[in-house]
Amino acid sequence: MGLDLVLRGGMVVTGSDSFRADVGISGGKIAVLAERLDGAQVIDAGGLLVLPGGVDTHCHIEQPEPDDFVQEESFISASASCFAGGTTSVICFVPQFKGHAIADTLTDYRRRAEQSMMDYSFHQIITDPTDDVVEREIPELIASGIRSLKVFLTYDPLHLDDRQYLRVLAAARRNRALVTVHCENYEAIKWRAEALVQAGMTAPKYHAWSRPKVVEREATHRAIALAELVDQPIQIFHVSCSEVAEEIARAKARGLKVWGETCPQYFVLGAADMDRPGFEGAKFMCSPSPRDAESAAALWGDVRRGTLDVVSSDHCGFSYGGSLGKKVHGENAAFPLVPNGVPGLATRLAIVFSEGVSKGRIDVNHFVRLTATNPAKMFGLYPRKGTIAPGADADVVLWDPGKRVTTTNALLHHAIDYTPYEGLEVTGWPVATIAGGRVVMRDGKVQAQPGEGRFLARDPYPLIAPTGVLADGFDAAPPG
Ligand code: URP
Ligand code: ZN
């Protein structure tokens, strides 16, 4: 068999097994795993882990905002950053704006994404589930392979009330899509934020005060209860603490199809970071708020127990300086006016590996499940993505488990002018990334061309089928 590329002598790690093998790549796919292979190009992987390329199922890339600007991270810079950090596929977000059709943003967003150097798919954010959106646009969208919807239970101008959320759940159930949910209580945050601002408490650190754990826990409980009512599978996004994960554990124990995602920021950042001098705290401002070291330690327990299934970046494209980023409303804007979110495409794998595997909290197979296999399975990309097996796309990371790196923004290749992880010491770092059989990163140098990435259309898959359990046996959202 003529192989284009052979990765020789590494330790292949999947979500379930670790074994020594050469990996043979042909036509952009993994062709064979064997003891000894030869090919047109051979890369020595001796002493390295050979991992499936990371799958980041929550990142905001070149995302249009309602007030006519676009987040700073382009598909090109995002791809470079992903490759630098060992991620090879992403699912990012197309927003619908209130009062508008889905198509009003989707058509342009598809065009922007054509520049991507990495493979990508979309989640569709639904902010205005009108009859036309629910009955015509959502079915067409899902049939085109965008098989996940995102809803926000907070944020102006994105949030849905309970009735609207139910309509989206029902539309997803009828058309077989997964619903992902940002869980925080809109009214509670608004009420507290108004009181804080009135009291003159406007600095970045009060962002955390405006949204304590209980507002996330309440919304998570409600999101799960309403999904149970509709019998629609959901994934709870960016779980910040164990108190919220408990709601997911209870749902899983009842046999509901509810999955949990967390992010690196909840392992290594805290509310105290938002209390840095001046406006610096804005660099760490995201929602839900990072908590504290005790919460982070407890969150690892939820990861170990399998309550939290996925670790995504929730990467956001807001720089600290510049006119469109954290200071869009001025150097000392009150916290409710500061854009939420932190960058993290390139640092996701390294932080999870370092905090998880290097510190002995999880094994390396669990690391692969969290960062590649589970996200691919949950969003209908598996086994094309998320594993190393014959027939899978040749998306592979050569990982040096002992490499110690001090995180600095210069290493990350993103368009954002800072990283919240500046100075963070990590153990474990990617030394090469292969995407679709192409070597796209070697020793920190990215080599890829705009347009090389492909849109990943996602077909129906069994995981997102309803459970069949309905209150009183009555189906309020029957298939058409
Ligand atoms: O603060 C965050 N996470 N901003 C990004 C939007 C979201 O909530 O996913
Ligand atoms: Zn969110």
Tens digit of each residue's pLDDT (9 = 90 or more) over 145-156 = 999 999 999 999
Tell me if residue 44 falls in helix, strand or coil.
strand
Tell me the pLDDT tens digit for each residue of 303-362. 999 999 999 999 999 999 988 899 999 999 999 999 999 999 999 999 999 999 999 999
Say if residues 342 and 414 touch (Cβ distance below 8 Å): no
Residue nearest to atom 2 of ligand 1 (CA): 341
Sign of CA dihedral 229, 235, 240, 246: positive
Kindly report the CA angle at 159 between 156 and 164, in degrees rounded to 5?
Answer: 145
- For the cut 80, the answer to whether the pLDDT of residue 480 exceeds it is no
Q: How high is the pLDDT of residue 438?
A: 98
- How confident is the model over 424-431, as a mean pLDDT? 98
Tell me if residue 429 falls in helix, strand or coil.
strand
Closest CA to 263 of 285, 292, 238, 236: 238
Q: What is the mean pLDDT of the chain?
A: 97
* Measured distance between the N- and C-terminal CA atoms of the chain, rounded to whole angstroms: 49
Closest CA to 71 of 411, 423, 270, 314: 314
Residue 155 CA: nearest ligand 1 atom is 8
- How confident is the model over 367-390, as a mean pLDDT? 98
Closest CA to 60 of 158, 166, 134, 178: 158
Tell me the pLDDT tens digit for each residue of 60-102. 999 999 888 899 999 999 999 999 999 999 999 999 999 999 9
Residue type, 303: V
β 119-125/148-152 pair status:
parallel
Q: How far is the CA of 342 from the centre of ligand 1 (A)?
A: 8
- How confident is the model over 4-12, as a mean pLDDT? 98
Residue 388 Cβ inside 6 Å of ligand 1? The answer reads no
Residue 316 Cβ inside 6 Å of ligand 1? The answer reads yes
Closest CA to 98 of 133, 122, 58: 133
d(CA 176, CA 464): 7
Q: Which element (helix H / strand E) includes 138?
A: helix 138-143
- How confident is the model over 388-409, as a mean pLDDT? 98
Tell me the pLDDT tens digit for each residue of 255-305. 999 999 999 999 999 999 999 999 999 999 999 999 999 999 999 999 999
β 49-52/54-59 pair status:
unpaired
Tell me the pLDDT tens digit for each residue of 134-192. 999 999 999 999 999 999 999 999 999 999 999 999 999 999 999 999 999 999 999 99
| Predicted structure pTM score | 0.98
Q: How far is the CA of 296 from the centre of ligand 1 (A)?
A: 19
Q: How far is the CA of 6 from the centre of ligand 1 (A)?
A: 39
d(CA 421, CA 281): 13
Q: How far is the CA of 311 from the centre of ligand 1 (A)?
A: 14
d(CA 46, CA 169): 48
Tell me the pLDDT tens digit for each residue of 311-321. 999 999 999 99
Find residue 119's DSSP bridge partners. 89
Q: How high is the pLDDT of residue 32?
A: 98
Q: Which element (helix H / strand E) includes 209?
A: helix 206-210
